[in-house]
Amino acid sequence: MNTVHKPRLLVVLKIALLSLVIMILSYNGQSNAKEADPVKLNAAKNKAAKKTETRRTALMIVNSTSDQIDAAVVLADLGGACGPNNPPVTANQLESLGFCSNVINSANPPYAGKCMLTIGAKSFVAFPDIPGACISGNVTFGDYPGCPNDSYPEGFTTGEFTLNTDGGLEVVDISLVNGHNNNVSISMYGGGEWSYGKGAGTPISLIVSKPSGENIGNPGVYPEGCSDCVEPVGDVVCPDFNLYPDCQTDRICDVYRSAANSGGTVTVSYMGK
């Protein structure tokens, strides 16, 4: 009897053990599958969120000198790159956020206004980011931009910017159309690549102004009096300027990128006289 049933018992035990192993493996597989599903779901959600996320370009204004400096901000009018669906930031908004004061509105308030702020030595200020708004305008140091006068006999170096548009291009440049009284730079970091020139353009991440008469071939800079980069257009910008200024030989004054590649930080730096 024992010699007949012992092998059968062993077979039964083996089958039972094998069934137990299969059940355990099956349970672990189901458990792992259940745990993996939320991870895959979250990854898919994150991927979808990144596709719909709107990247905003930040703007910083820096004083790299050892003395505080007054800065003047002039803002664009409604239209062009900053249309009704993505209007330009206004001076009133900037004042309400504590960024600047002494607001002066144009004949078309609240757009095309201007205001002043003071930046401490070796310090910076961040331009407020207002969702759904375009940042377009310019900044000068000392006073509002204008022609040379008794206080500013060399005129004004102007940092210009149009950022966070709802289509087309983001654009930055340094304009010497009103002269050159300060050394100013504009750096671009993060987001899509910036370029200048024709076609695909030449990559660039830093614009540095030079004194008047030294900017031919300097990308991102409008030379003195050259309102259209390669030539003056319309009336003479300032009465004392040369009627036939030396302008860029190619259209390299604007540094640009597609608005679809926005993001990162644009920094306008005051570097003294």
Given a cut of 60, whether residue 35 has pLDDT beyond it is no
Token pair 């600047």 is found at 100
Residue 123 DSSP SS3: strand
Residue 59 DSSP SS3: strand
Look at residue 27 in the predicted model and tell me its pLDDT. Answer: 43
> In this structure, are strands 114-119 and 101-104 parallel, antiparallel, or unpaired?
antiparallel
Q: Distances in Å between the alpha carbon of 18 and those of 10, 31, 241? A: 12, 20, 96
Say whether pTM exceeds 0.75: yes
Taking only the tens place, the pLDDT of each residue in 43-81 is 554 444 444 356 999 999 999 999 999 999 999 999 989
Residue 197 DSSP SS3: coil
- Per DSSP, 79 falls in state B
- The Cα–Cα gap between 164 and 54 comes to 10
Q: Distances in Å between the alpha carbon of 149 and those of 89, 235, 271? A: 29, 19, 21
- Per DSSP, 5 falls in state H
Look at residue 237 in the predicted model and tell me its pLDDT. Answer: 85
Look at residue 51 in the predicted model and tell me its pLDDT. Answer: 41
